[in-house]
Structure 1
Amino acid sequence: MSNLEADSKFLKKAVIINVVGAVLKVCGPLLTFLMARVFGAAEFGIFVSAQTLLLTIAHSATLGLDKGLYWYLPQNKLNGRPAYDGIMNSFWVSALIALFCSLVIFVGSFTPYISKELPWYGISLLFYVGTFVFSTASEGNRRPQNAVFVNSFLTVTLAPGVSIALHFLDIPHALPLGLFVGQMAGFIVHFVLVRRQFPDMPLHPALRVPMVLLKYSLPLGFGEFVASFLIRSALWMVMLFLGPEKAGAFGIMVTISNALQTIHVGFTPILTPVVAGMEKQRLSTDLKFVYSYCVFMVTLIQLLIGFFIVLFPSEILSIAGKDFIVQPEALGILLLVHLGTGFGGLSVLVLKGMGKSLYTLIMDTISLGLTLGMGYLLIPRFGLVGAALAMLSSTLFSAIVNNGYLYKMGFRLYSSKLISQVLWIVALVAFYIAVNTGKLPMVLWQKIVAYLVIVGLLGLYWKLVKKYFSVSAISNKK
Structure 2
Amino acid sequence: MAITKKPRQLSMVQTIFMTSVANILIMAVTTLTSIITARMFGATGKGELAAVLFWPAFISGLAAFGLPTSLIYNVKKNINQLPTYISMSFAVQIPISLIAGIVSWFGISFWLSGYSESVVSIARWYTVSMVPVMLFMGVLAAAAQGTDKFHIYNLSRLFAPLFNLVGLVLLWITGILTVERAIIVSFAANIFVLICYMYAMRQQIFSSASKLVGQFRTCIHLFSYGIRVYGVELLGTLYNHFDKIIILALLTPKDFGLYSVVFALSRMFNVVQTAITNVIFPKVAGMEQQKVLTLVGRAFRISMVLMTIIIIPSMLIGRFFIGILFGPEFLEASGVFYLLSMECIVGGGSWILASAFNALGRPGVIVLRQIVALAVTITLFFVLTPLLGLYGIGLALLLGSFVRMLMSLASVSIIFKMPMHKMLYNKEDITFLKERLREKNILKGAGKDAKRKRAKDSSHG
Q: TM-score, normalised by structure 1?
A: 0.78
Task: Tell me by how many angstroms 1:179 deviates.
Answer: 1.8
Letter of the 1:310 partner, please give it. M
Which of these residues, 30, 33, 48, is aligned with residue 31 of structure 1? 33
Corresponding position: 1:94 with 2:101? no
Give the AA of the match of 2:396: A
Q: Which position in structure 2 is the counterpart of 1:306?
A: 311
Asked if structure 2 preserves the Cα contact closer than 8 Å seen for 1:95 and 1:130, the reply is no
Give the alignment partner of residue 294 of structure 1, picking from 290, 296, 299.
299
Distance 1:222 1:117 in 2: 31
Q: Does 1:409 align with 2:409?
A: no
Query: 8 Å contact 1:95–1:126 — kept in the other structure?
Result: yes
The residue that corresponds to 1:178 in the other structure is 185
Matched, 1:11 2:35: no
The residue type equivalent to 1:94 in the other structure is Q
2:292–2:359: 8 Å Cα contact kept in structure 1? no
CA apart distance, 1:146: 2.0
- Number of paired residues? 418
Q: By how many angstroms is 1:84 displaced?
A: 3.6
Structure 1 gap segments, 5+ residues each: 1-7, 422-461, 473-478
Q: Report 1:236-255 matches (<5 A).
A: 236-255=245-264
Measured in 2, the distance between the counterparts of 1:392 and 1:137 equals 33
The answer to whether the 8 A contact 2:24-2:271 is kept is no
Q: Does 1:194 align with 2:201?
A: yes
Question: Which one of 332, 352, 355 corresponds to residue 349 of structure 1?
Answer: 355
Further displaced range: 386-395 or 50-59 = 50-59
**Cα distance 1:412–1:464, how it changes in 2: closer, same or farther (>3 A)?**
closer
Counterpart Cα distance in 1 of 2:394 and 2:108: 33
Alignment of 1:148 with 2:149, yes or no, is no
Q: CA deviation at 1:217?
A: 0.8
Structure 1 residue corresponding to 2:74, chosen from 72, 78, 97: 72
Whole-Å separation in 2 of the counterparts to 1:320 and 1:183? 25
Gaps of 5+ in 2: 1-8, 440-461
Deviation per residue, 1:242-283 (Å, 9 max, x gap):
3111111111111011112333222233111233221xxx32
The residue type paired with residue 96 of structure 2 is I
1:159 match: 164
TM-aligned CA deviation for residue 376 of structure 1: 1.0
Q: Distance in 2 between matches of 1:9 and 1:385?
A: 43
- Determine whether 1:467 maps to 2:424: no
- Are the counterparts in 2 of residues 276 and 354 from structure 1 also a CA contact under 8 Å? yes
**Partners of 1:108 and 1:463 in 2: how far apart?**
52
Partner deviation per Cα, 1:399-445 (whole Å, 9 max, x = no partner):
11122112112353878696499xxxxxxxxxxxxxxxxxxxxxxxx
1:111-143: CA deviation from partner (whole Å, max 9, x where unpaired): 998932223312122211111110111011122
1:244-393, aligned counterparts within 5 Å? 244-278=253-287, 282-284=288-290, 286-299=291-304, 302-303=307-308, 305-307=310-312, 309-318=314-323, 319-393=325-399
CA distance in structure 1 between the aligned counterparts of 2:210 and 2:327, rounded to whole angstroms? 49
Tell me the alpha carbon deviations over residues 206-257 of structure 1, each in whole angstroms, 9 at most, x when there is no partner: 2637111111112433433332221121233233333111111111111011
Specify whether residues 378 and 154 from structure 1 end up closer, same or farther in structure 2 by C-alpha distance, changes over 3 A only: same
Counterpart amino acid of residue 466 in structure 1 = L
Give the drift of 1:43. Answer: 2.2
Judging changes above 3 Å, is the alpha-carbon distance between structure 1 residues 367 and 470 closer, same or farther for their aligned structure 2 residues? farther
Change (3 A) 1:314 1:212: same
- Kindly tell me: are residues 323 and 407 of structure 1, through their superposed partners in 2, closer, same or farther at Cα, counting changes over 3 Å? same
Q: Is the CA contact (8 Å cut-off) linking 2:168 and 2:185 kept in structure 1?
A: yes
The 5-angstrom pairing of residues 17-56 of structure 1 reads 17-25=18-26, 26-56=28-58
> Do the aligned partners of 1:69 and 1:86 also contact (CA within 8 Å) in 2?
yes
Q: CA deviation at 1:375?
A: 1.0
**Aligned mates of 1:337, 1:471 — CA distance in 2:** 34
Q: Equivalents in 2 of 1:359, 1:235: separation in Å?
A: 26
Larger radius of gyration between Structure 1 and Structure 2: 2
State the distance in 2 between where 1:416 and 1:362 align: 23
Partner SS for 1:142:
coil
Q: Render the CA deviation track for 1:284-310: whole Å, top value 9, x for unaligned.
A: 2x2343123322453355346524531
Residue pair 1:274, 1:353 contacting (<8 A) in 2 also:
no
Q: Which 10-residue stretch deviates more, 261-270 or 299-308? A: 299-308
Pairs within 5 Å for 1:448-459: none
* Superposition deviation, residue 344 in structure 1: 4.2
